Amino acid sequence: MNQVLSADAAMARAIECARLGLGKTFPNPIVGAVITSATGEFISEGFHQGADHAEVVAINAAKNIPAGVIIYVTLEPCNHQGKTPPCTQAIIAAGIKKVVYAVGDPNPIAAGGGEYLRASGIDVEQGLLESEAAFDNRAWITKISKERPRITWKIASTMDGKVAAADGTSKWITSELARADVAVLRSQADAIVTSTATVKADNPLLTSKGAGKNPVRLVMGGSEIASSAQILNADAETIAIKSRDLQELITLAQARGFNQLLIESGPTLGTALLKAGLIDEVVLYQAPTFFGSGTPSISDLGVATISERLDFEIADVEVIGADLKITLIKSANQEEGGR
């Protein structure tokens, strides 16, 4: 007999499956699906990797689907013909009797799947582990709601907020394990954004070093990129945005359908985005060390007094090797003032 899953466990597993798609699905959301028998016996699972939708992957993964099965999906099944036929049709054709989904589809083009399935006589439930599934899909949800990608700024600093010592040295502030974690973060982003100044100073590769797929590399700024720069190698696509205008970055990201941008540059670019209200999230790797002097992680934000500070909320804290990884999400207060 197969493992028997509670509804919560089945959805939690679907959420875990979905997460494996991070960085592979843009312009689509991440989605995971688990099929169980009516009594909860595990049958199959799947996730969206950019081609077949999760529901179809899970249906195809099952050798045969007995009567009365339940499918758990992290997002409302789509009801429209896109690159693939509507998932609602595949669900009906497979003879699935019950659909449990976590998050309603906020995308007007694809929505209505739940209603359509219900009208077709299928038992439909919504909301199981909704906030957990929505949190993991926050890049795509940000894109739908703000019509621009979610923008995360990665910072590696000392505990006194310095990203380089007085002489400019910064290799390496954080430990090898923390840097390996950054590689995973890169693999989950659709594009990395850096500046011509950072390319010139550090000659970074900005790949995921085998931790997953490589993101597109976007380089902002007016300076030329040396033809010998590592960022121009064949590991991934690199696009030079020959401007400091943040709108050009947004326009390019919109055109490409990126869900998630990861900012990896000196303080200038990140500070400009933060000042413009465009930083949704900060992932701060902090090494337990102090420089005293050196380059501050953030340049002048125009914050003159404490009440003007830019508030975030701690979403997660993790000790990675010798360092801390702190995930900060823009707070509702700042969100109201931002765009």
Cis peptide before 153 (omega within 30 of 0): no
What is the H or E stretch that residue 191 is in? strand 191-195
Least Cβ distance, residue 326 to a copy of itself (angstroms): 7
Least Cβ distance, residue 275 to a copy of itself (angstroms): 8
Binding track over 311-330 against a copy of itself, x by CB under 8 A: xxxx--x-x--xxx-x-x--
Residues 135-194 that bind a copy of itself (CB under 8 A): 157-162, 164-167, 169-171, 173
Least Cβ distance, residue 329 to a copy of itself (angstroms): 9
Radius of gyration (Cα) for the chain, nearest Å?
Answer: 22
16 labelled catalytic: no
Tally the C-alpha atoms within 13 A of residue 104's C-alpha that lie toward its C-beta: 10
Cis peptide before 27 (omega within 30 of 0): yes
Is 17 annotated in some ligand binding site? Answer: no
Record the tokens describing residue 179, joined without a space: 């840097």
DSSP, residue by residue, 25-82: STTSPP-EEEEE-TT-BEEEEEE-SSSS-HHHHHHHHSS---TT-EEEEEEPPP-S-S
CB 78 within 8 A of CB 103: no
- Of residues 176 and 308, the one with the C-beta less far from a copy of itself: 308
Q: Give the C-alpha separation, 264 to 283, whole Å.
A: 11
* Out of 175, 230, 289, 295, the residue judged to bind a copy of itself by CB under 8 A: 289
Catalytic member of 16, 41, 45, 55: 55
Is 78 annotated in some ligand binding site? Answer: yes
Is 268 annotated in some ligand binding site? Answer: yes
Least Cβ distance, residue 318 to a copy of itself (angstroms): 9
Is 206 annotated in some ligand binding site? Answer: yes
Q: Give the C-alpha separation, 166 to 134, whole Å.
A: 42
Is 224 annotated in some ligand binding site? Answer: no
Residues that bind a copy of itself (CB under 8 A): 157-162, 164-167, 169-171, 173, 271, 274, 282, 284, 288-294, 296-314, 317, 319, 322-324, 326, 328, 331
Q: Where in the sequence numbering do the catalytic residues fall?
A: 55
List binding-site positions: 53, 78, 87, 156, 170, 172, 186, 198, 202, 206, 264, 266-272
